Chains A and B, each alone.
Chain A
Amino acid sequence: MPALEENRQENLLRKMNEQGGFTTPDNYFDAMKSSIIAKTSGDKLTIYDHQGGFVVPELFFETQKNKILSKSTTSRAHKISLSYNQIILRVSSIAAMITIVGFLFLFENSSKSPDFTANISNEEIFNHLVKNDVSEDLICELLNRNKTNKNENDIEKYLYDNADEDLLMDNL
């Protein structure tokens, strides 16, 4: 775009912007400016007063700031707690899925009569479980039916002790 044309367009819009007299709510920005300048390096500060006609309620920014600070102090503990629970849940789910796949593998090999799983690979079953986000309840139910697998605790313990947490998360 030629520079002249670009300048013409910008000037047209800029002129209109200046006519607008963008408003600010009840001296809020004056107070905010003082507050910010007191806490930051004023020479680098740019205050934008023109907001295209949008306004905010009185004392909105102070209220919002307090809300954010309140939430931020509580969010850390909440996040840690959630993350720990999620890790337990996910590691358990993976262990359960591995157990089911193992069970199906054993069942497939030991069964002499043909059945509906005969033509389905273990990998396909595993992918199906993961893709369809099979509920933990269902997995537990299946596990309870399958009392023949005595390695469940060993697998779970092994995952807890040795598996990389990020890798487990990525594989979910």
Chain B
Amino acid sequence: MAGILNEQEVILLFRNESTKHNAFVQILDAFQKRVYWHVRRIVISHDDADDVTQNTFIKIWENLENFREDSKLYTWIFRIATNEALGYLNKKKSATTSSFGDYEHILSESLVAGSYFNGNAIELKLQQAILILPTKQRLVFNMKYYENMKYEDMEQVLGTSVGALKASYHHAVKKIEEFLKHD
């Protein structure tokens, strides 16, 4: 995915106290929506995605000065967002009692009951299929299918080799196909 800002310029602006706020607003404008949707597909709930997105940008604000330019700003931001979302999800999982069933099932149910999902039957079924995937496969599928992210960028975000990512995507597609055919 192409960067949408001149990253070096924005980082330089951020490191200057007088232009720091302006640089952050540019980053926010550029990435807010994409980060939100990326997080939303992981945590599913709108309120949770809102919290995680805000936490992500606060972390960006606090740590961008120390950003090492050996990686892309875009992948650095998505790495923070992914880690925040997975951490949030794990906390929710551990707080959920087993009597309600596994957490993915709860998320799947929330798609139907939730007020911020208005997809049709096919979209709902696809989301339910995605929720049966193991976490890593779910991440890879969403990042490839919805965000059209390059495997090379995904490698930076998830810290997994391109080969393993391709395999994950392949397995994810197979499982989704099976789910859609038989469920």
* Chain A residues packing against B (C-beta within 8 Å): 1, 6, 9-10, 12-13, 16-17, 19-23, 29, 32, 35-36, 39-41, 44-46, 48, 50-57, 60-61, 64-65, 67-69, 71-73, 75-76, 79
Chain A residues, CB < 8 A from B61: 72, 75-76
Given known pairs A35-B29, A54-B117, A68-B58, the reply for A46 and B2 (CB within 8 Å) is yes
Q: Which 8 A-B pairs have the closest CB atoms?
A: A53-B119, A53-B123, A72-B61, A20-B123, A68-B57, A9-B173, A44-B2, A1-B170
Are A67 and B118 touching (Cβ within 8 A)? no
Q: Which of A20, A29, A67, A68 contacts B119 (CB 8 A)?
A: A20
Are A44 and B116 touching (Cβ within 8 A)? no
Additional 18 contacts, C-beta under 8 A, given A40-B26, A50-B146? A10-B173, A13-B173, A19-B120, A22-B119, A23-B119, A41-B4, A44-B2, A46-B4, A46-B148, A52-B119, A52-B146, A53-B119, A54-B41, A54-B119, A57-B116, A65-B32, A71-B54, A72-B24
Q: Which of B29, B50, B117, B173 contacts A64 (CB 8 A)?
A: B50
For the complex, give the distance between the alpha carbons of A21 and B145 in Å: 15
For the complex, give the distance between the alpha carbons of A17 and B144 in Å: 13
Chain B residues, CB < 8 A from A68: 28, 32, 53-54, 57-58
The residue of chain A having its C-beta at the shortest distance from the C-beta of B171 within the complex is A1
For the complex, give the distance between the alpha carbons of A19 and B125 in Å: 13
25 A-B pairs within 8 Å (CB atoms) are namely A10-B173, A13-B145, A16-B122, A16-B126, A17-B145, A19-B122, A20-B126, A35-B29, A39-B30, A41-B5, A48-B37, A48-B146, A48-B148, A50-B146, A52-B123, A52-B127, A52-B146, A53-B119, A53-B127, A56-B46, A64-B32, A69-B24, A71-B54, A75-B61, A75-B62
Q: Is B132 an interface residue (CB 8 A)?
A: no
For the complex, give the distance between the alpha carbons of A66 and B19 in Å: 18
Range of interface residues on chain B? 35 or more
For the complex, give the distance between the alpha carbons of A73 and B152 in Å: 34
For the complex, give the distance between the alpha carbons of A109 and B120 in Å: 78
Q: Which of A16, A19, A69, A79 contacts B28 (CB 8 A)?
A: A69
Given known pairs A13-B173, A40-B26, A56-B36, the reply for A72 and B57 (CB within 8 Å) is yes
Given known pairs A67-B54, A76-B62, the reply for A54 and B5 (CB within 8 Å) is no
Chain A nearest CB, measured from B125 CB (Å): 9
Are A32 and B26 touching (Cβ within 8 A)? no
Are B176 and A13 touching (Cβ within 8 A)? yes
Q: Which of B21, B173, B177 contacts A73 (CB 8 A)?
A: B21
Q: Is B134 an interface residue (CB 8 A)?
A: no
Chain B residues, CB < 8 A from A1: 166, 170
Chain B residues, CB < 8 A from A44: 2-4
Chain B residues, CB < 8 A from A20: 119-120, 122-123, 126
Chain B nearest CB, measured from A165 CB (Å): 15
Chain B nearest CB, measured from A126 CB (Å): 32
Chain B nearest CB, measured from A125 CB (Å): 33
Chain B nearest CB, measured from A11 CB (Å): 11
Q: Which parts of B31-53 form the interface with A (CB within 8 Å)?
A: 32-34, 36-37, 40-41, 46, 50, 53
